Amino acid sequence: MKPHHPIPEASLRRLPVYYRSLQEMLTAGAAQAVSCADLARTLGLDPTLVRKDIEMTGIVGRPRVGYPLADLVRWIESFLGWNRLKGAVLVGAGSLGSALLGYDRFRSHGMEIVAAFDTDPGKIGKRNHGRPVQPLSALPDFVRRTQVLIGVIATPGDAAQSVADLMVAGGILAIWNFAPAHLHVPKHVILQNEDLYHSLASLSFKLESRTRRAETPEEREISYAQDN
């Protein structure tokens, strides 16, 4: 695959959606070729948007035919780096961290969490989904020895920055942050934040707005009186 130009974040977020749909087509024994219009129709999206996203990956289709289905699946895998397994370390072996350690499908998407770290003496030395939980102080040396490049943070927010600093000191180049904290990292380090509270706030607000619109004028007056 040739080097590609930067791709907008919104397009990057849609590519896995396309990939899952294309894989389902492949598994179902669909036609050998698929067009952007076919994919857009399946997902209920604008065909022009889908075409632009797919074209940004650099693959070239055939006019009025589209792309060989299996080739397009492999191309997106390669474009996203899912066909090259990369090791990762996780810090924070609590409820969220344990769930991430137990999620087997990361391997099929190019990432394998190879070690877990924590500061809780009750967790250190025990195994969590097959990985021994090591003391956080051992993280930089482990990263240097194994040359792991990805760090996953699943700690409370007040611990996240110090964990990120340790990861950077060890040589981590990409951090996937699940902690509710704004992190500062050097420019050469990639930082991807997964703010669960932001997503929950968005969901809650949309639900609240919809239920408020569904109220009768009398019910809205009662709600207003209760809120005030």
Could you write out the DSSP letters of every residue in the chain? --------HHHHHHHHHHHHHHHHHHHTT--SEE-HHHHHHHHT--HHHHHHHHHHTT---BTTTBEEHHHHHHHHHHHHTTTS-EEEEEE--SHHHHHHHT-GGGGGGTEEEEEEEES-TTTTTSEETTEEEEEGGGHHHHHHHHT--EEEE-S-HHHHHHHHHHHHHHT--EEEE-SSS-----TTSEEEE--HHHHHHHHHHHHHHHHHHHS-HHHHHHHHHHH-
Q: Tell me what pLDDT residue 212 has.
A: 78
Reported as a single tens digit per residue, the pLDDT across 10-65 is 999 999 999 999 999 998 887 788 999 999 999 999 999 999 999 999 998 888 78
| Chain length of the chain | 228
Q: Tell me what pLDDT residue 3 has.
A: 45
Q: Tell me what pLDDT residue 222 has.
A: 54
Q: Tell me what pLDDT residue 214 has.
A: 65
Q: Tell me what pLDDT residue 200 has.
A: 87
Please, which pLDDT band fits residue 220 given cuts at 50, 70 and 90? low
pTM of the model: 0.82
Domains for the chain: give ranges and CATH numbers. Answer: 9-80 (1.10.10.10), 86-194 (3.40.50.720), 198-227 (no CATH)
Q: Per-residue pLDDT for 219 more than 70?
A: no
AA identity, residue 214: A
For residues 120 and 94, what is the distance between their CA atoms, to the nearest angstrom?
A: 9
Reported as a single tens digit per residue, the pLDDT across 154-198 is 999 999 999 999 999 999 999 999 999 999 999 999 999 998 888
Q: Which residues contact 23 (CB under 8 A, 6 or more apart)?
A: 73
Reported as a single tens digit per residue, the pLDDT across 93-141 is 999 999 999 999 999 899 999 999 999 999 999 999 999 999 999 999 9
